[in-house]
């Protein structure tokens, strides 16, 4: 099918203003890198997400579901097919006592502020994670001793047949930076979270402390996709990279951060190829020096 034919199919059940052709992915990733997607859907309802997925599946059109693009490196030629973005258009929240029900597109930082205003504790760790709730649930995101598995009690997802199903905490099968959602390619629609009532001032204080830690130890002033590598068992990726003498090393405008070696940052107009070459260089040097294999945490997608 041509792009125009796909577009015509999509607009049967999706608002025209929610469908874009040849959308530059660098505008939708925290790395500020990436070529054009043939079509992007800025989904606002479950029905729009379902219709987009069904059109793709029934016509063998490749598709990618993204959130805020905070853990994503899109190649320079862009993405062939359809990108379904579940973000600010799909971000409603309901809080009842200590239970939160939130749509997948809400940013964790926004959700954390809403939760703090209700004097609920236990979500402070997520306040600075730069992504959406859906993406965080899928990969069991975590920071500063907390993980999504600690607070999520269940999730509403779309399965392979675009059916809406509910998975409880046990069925979500959370692991380190993984879950059944990620393994099976399910699409998160909504997440249930359970917390405890706490002291507002103490919650605010903890959140502020974590914010200081992040801003002083992480290169938040430069575009990146967060931690570039998963934590290897028994080690810390950033320390291995620094000990290997790679802090500040550049390939084009992609650089190992001088503030935190676990981050690859875009210091100007880095291309995806710059980042990929730098990732491979880091992996080789760390493997040769320490015998440790580093696996990317950032997801690399797009046409090679």
**Residue 80 appears among annotated catalytic residues:** no
Distance from C-alpha of 175 to C-alpha of 33, rounded to nearest angstrom: 29
177 is catalytic: yes
Categorise residue 174: left if φ over 0, alpha if ψ from -120 to 50, beta otherwise. Answer: beta
For the CA atoms of 55, 59, 60, 65, what is the dihedral angle to 10 degrees? Answer: -10
- List the catalytic residue out of 75, 121, 127, 177: 177
Q: Catalytic pick from 44, 70, 227, 261?
A: 227
The residue whose two tokens read 């580093």 is: 294
Question: Where does residue 181 rank: exposed (0-12), middle (13-18), buried (19+ CB within 10 A)?
Answer: buried
* Contact (Cβ atoms closer than 8 angstroms) between residue 259 and residue 299: no
Angle formed by the axes of helices 3-10 and 46-58, nearest 10°: 140
| Nearest CA among 28, 61, 55, 59 for reference residue 42 | 28
Asked if residues 56 and 82 have their Cβ atoms less than 8 Å apart, the reply is: yes
Helix (H) or strand (E) holding 8: helix 3-10
Q: Which of 48, 121, 190, 297 is catalytic?
A: 297
CA angle 103, 104, 105 (to 5 degrees): 95
Q: Which of 80, 73, 26 is nearest to 274 (CA)?
A: 73
Tell me, yes or no, if 227 is annotated catalytic.
Answer: yes
**Furthest-apart CA atoms within the chain: distance in Å:** 57
Active site residues: 177, 227, 297
């Amino acid at each position: 099918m041509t792009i125009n034919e796909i577009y015509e199919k999509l607009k049967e059940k999706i608002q025209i203003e929610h469908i874009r052709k040849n959308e530059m992915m660098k505008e939708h990733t925290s790395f500020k890198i990436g070529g054009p997607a043939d079509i992007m859907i800025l989904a606002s309802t479950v029905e729009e997400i379902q219709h987009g997925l069904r059109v793709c599946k029934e016509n063998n059109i490749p598709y990618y579901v993204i959130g805020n693009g905070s853990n994503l490196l899109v190649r320079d030629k862009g993405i062939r097919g359809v990108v379904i973005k579940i973000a600010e258009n799909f971000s409603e929240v309901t809080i009842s006592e200590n239970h939160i029900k939130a749509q997948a597109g809400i940013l964790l930082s926004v959700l954390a502020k809403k939760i703090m205003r209700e004097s609920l504790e236990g979500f402070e760790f997520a306040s600075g994670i730069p992504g959406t709730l859906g993406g965080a649930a899928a990969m069991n995101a975590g920071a500063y001793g907390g993980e999504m598995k600690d607070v999520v009690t269940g999730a509403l997802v779309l399965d392979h047949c675009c059916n809406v199903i509910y998975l409880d905490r046990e069925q979500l099968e959370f692991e380190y930076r993984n879950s059944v959602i990620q393994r099976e390619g399910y699409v998160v629609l909504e997440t249930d979270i359970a917390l405890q009532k706490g002291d507002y001032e103490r919650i605010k204080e903890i959140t502020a402390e974590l914010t200081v830690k992040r801003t002083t130890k992480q290169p938040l002033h430069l575009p990146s996709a967060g931690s570039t590598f998963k934590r290897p068992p028994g080690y810390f990726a950033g320390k291995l990279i620094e000990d290997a003498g790679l802090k500040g090393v550049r390939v084009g405008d992609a650089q190992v951060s001088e503030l935190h070696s676990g981050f690859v940052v875009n210091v100007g107009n880095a291309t995806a190829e710059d980042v990929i070459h730098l990732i491979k260089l880091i992996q080789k040097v760390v493997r040769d020096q320490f015998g440790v294999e580093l696996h990317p945490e950032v997801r690399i997608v797009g046409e090679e």
